[in-house]
Structure 1
Amino acid sequence: MKTITIASAREGAGKTSIIVGLATSLGKAYGYMKPFGDRLIYKRKRNWDYDANLMVNILGIDEDPETISLGFNHSKLKYVYDEARMKETVVSMAANIGKGKDLLFVEGGRDLTYGASVHLDSLSIHQYVGGKLIIVYSGDDDQILDDITHLHSNINLKDVDFAGIIINNVHDVDDFENSHSKVITDMGIPILGIIPFREQLTYFSVNFLSEKLFAKVIAGEKGLSNIVKNIFVGAMSTGESLRNPLFNKENKLLITSGDRSDMILAALESDTVGIVLTNNLLPPSNIIARATEKNVPLLLVSTDTFQVSKQIDRMEALLTPDNEERIKFISQLVTKYVRVEDIIG
């Protein structure tokens, strides 16, 4: 069994998506573990890591998501494990999960240092399980170069099977390669791939949004798989909104107070995939019936329009098991822009 640890310099670099792309690009039997969970979800009266749950569903891994991570809380892990026992436990997890598999993917925490105080930072995990180490970088060009330079100058990788780096979400791949690739490789750091930014990877389903907002779905449940591509905040008058070009964009989500009946009706008659009703206010029954008829979900939340808009703006559009089109697209990107055979072979 081969083992690959995927780490990242910063949160949200795209580790999980790259693992999905690598795993779905080749027909092999994969195992997956994420020793230190950092995206807690509560399902079936148990604590799971979001990424662990995702990988079990996408890759069909025969593991309980609860057993793929050791925990989420620093203080609890400190109480239960010292360094020796932590290493022993992680090694045992890897052996059990990787049994009978061609390849075991081990995902690190949100960044390189996360979990260091409980001996579960990405580099420690890699030293426990062995195999190859890949680090994912993302951000603007300067941020990426700063992070890579810091890796080269301050982190000792001499005793590590460091396969290289993957640079993700680059807006201009050709410019990055021409301007920065030689600087990076001259540091002795192999570049395994440079993946371009694609706007469609920032889209999310209405169902994903509903779960993130803890919203109550009051109509249009059949449209929960609708994909949100644009967002319109209905804070102005309906007349002004209709004259705004943003209101007529495709696959839009409307955020407005539940008592704005005119705004909601106008949205239902245009290209709208979902409506967030704020202030815990319900629209009249005829509007609810119309939304149900058009399969446009109405999501009821208690917070005001401004707060909901801020929450959605900060939200990371995570991959979901039901978004098969996005999973396929990620696989195509990884296959095209990453030297997959150098990693897996």
Structure 2
Amino acid sequence: YSGKSAISLALAMGFQEKGLSVHYMKPIGASLRRFGDEFIDEDAYFAWQALGIEADWELASPVLLTQEMIEASLSGPVPGLEDKILSALARLSEGQDVIILEALSGLTGGWALGLPVKRVAELTDAKVVAVFAHHLNPDLDGMVAVHSTCQERLIGMVINGTPPQMIPSLQERLKPFVEFYGLPFYGILARDKVLRSITVAELCEALNGEVLCGHEGLDEMVETYMVGAMSSHAALRHFQRKANKAVITGGDRGDIHLAALETSTRCLILTGNLRPTCECWARL
């Protein structure tokens, strides 16, 4: 993930703090969750909750990548989608100073529908900020491709999620590249553990799991994941490598459970529909 949802929300909240009226829309929703009898994009749902937007949910993501929509796109670009987006945007824009639009990932997202990023930007007359995930070697081809595709609509680029200690060297490495191609480069954002974390409760909900014990720890933040599939002798040293983690292992691996609980472990994710041993229950 590049973190474009978090950056979109941060921009919207920043505008709100300046006293501006802001709405958010994800023209094409791909991360679907059921909302009553309908579907809604998860990113749009979270953004609307965070921003306190009160409007018809259908405006949050006017085009949803349901199975029916995917099947329809097999016959070519689906007619009527541009009008649907423009209609939703017009209604959502009423009385607002700023509208934040979040695109699908990559330049090719939405292409089969006839709605790639470039077309959505043209359709809505939007400016584009491109967000790139951090990699040891930056996505140089992607940066040039976005610049070439979006042209004057591209107002900035951001690399997100870089370890803080690597930012100065990455800036120096990128400087001649940015200058040679004339890229509108905003800068590099540091990795934030909290933003990349999830609560134990949210993790349980996502997995449709059952909480066996430790309900008082459901608000604890999980920062990373480890798999417990090794011998009991190697388990303790393995789990000491990472803190604030969730350990995924079989429900019958009592030795792994106990080793994980000796380290900084937020929760155990037990597979196989198997319950812990009595010894583990006592430790839990």
Structures share fold, TM-score greater than 0.5: yes
- C-alpha distance 59-254 of structure 1, shift in aligned 2 (>3 A): same
| Aligned-residue CA RMSD (Å) | 2.9
Q: What is the deviation of 1:19? A: 0.9
- Shift, 1:21, TM fit: 1.6
Write the deviation string for residues 108-161 of structure 1: whole angstroms up to 9, x where unpaired.
1121111122122221111111132222222426442111223345x262xx43
- Following superposition of structure 1 onto structure 2, how do residues 122-271 of structure 1 map, counting pairs within 5 Å? 122-140=117-135, 142-153=137-148, 155=149, 157=151, 160-171=152-163, 172-242=166-236, 244=237, 246-247=239-240, 249-265=242-258, 267-268=260-261, 270-271=263-264
Instruction: Identify the structure with bigger relative contact order (alpha carbons < 8 Å, sequence gap 6+).
Output: 1
**1:272 paired residue number:** 265
CA distance in 2 between counterparts of 1:151 and 1:263 reads 47
- How many residue pairs end up in the alignment? 275
Partner SS for 2:182 = coil
State whether residues 230 and 249 of structure 1, in contact with CA within 8 Å, keep that contact through their aligned partners in structure 2: yes
Change in CA separation of 1:156 and 1:270 when aligned onto 2, cut-off 3 Å: closer
1:302 is aligned to none
Report the 3-state secondary structure (helix = DSSP H, G, I; strand = E; otherwise coil) of the residue aligned with 2:188.
strand
Q: Does residue 19 of structure 2 align to residue 25 of structure 1?
A: no
Contact 1:52 1:65 in 2 (8 A): no
What is the CA deviation profile of residues 197-238 of structure 1, one whole-angstrom value per residue up to 9, with x for unaligned ones? 344443322223223333222323332221123444333444
Alpha-carbon shift at residue 81 of structure 1 (Å):
7.8
Whether contact under 8 Å (2:235, 2:260) holds in the other structure is no
One-letter amino acid of the counterpart of residue 58, structure 1? A
CA distance in 2, matches of 1:76, 1:223: 45
- The answer (yes or no) to whether the contact 2:239–2:260 under 8 Å persists in 1 is no
CA distance in 2 between partners of 1:249 and 1:137 (Å)? 26
- CA–CA distance in structure 2, aligned partners of residues 127 and 185 of structure 1: 26
Distance 2:231 2:274 in 1: 18
**Secondary structure at the counterpart of residue 139 of structure 2:** helix
Query: 1:35, 1:107 within 8 Å by CA — same for their partners in 2?
Result: yes
**Gap change, CA 1:209 and 1:193, over 3 Å in 2:** same
**Cα distance in 1 between the residues matched to 2:159 and 2:255:** 46
- For residues 231 and 117 of structure 1, the distance between their equivalents in structure 2, rounded to whole angstroms, comes to 35
Residues 71 and 233 (structure 1), Cα distance of their counterparts in 2 relative to 1, 3 Å cut: closer
Structure 1 unpaired stretches of 5+ = 1-11, 292-345
User: 1:204 is matched by which residue type in structure 2?
Assistant: I
* More divergent stretch after superposition (43-52 vs 65-74): 65-74
Partner in structure 2 of residue 86 of structure 1: 81
Cα deviation for residue 278 of structure 1 reads: 1.3
| Residue aligning to 1:57 | 49
Counterpart AA for 2:183:
I
Distance 1:78 1:128 in 2: 23
Task: In structure 2, list runs of 5 or more residues that go unmatched.
Answer: none
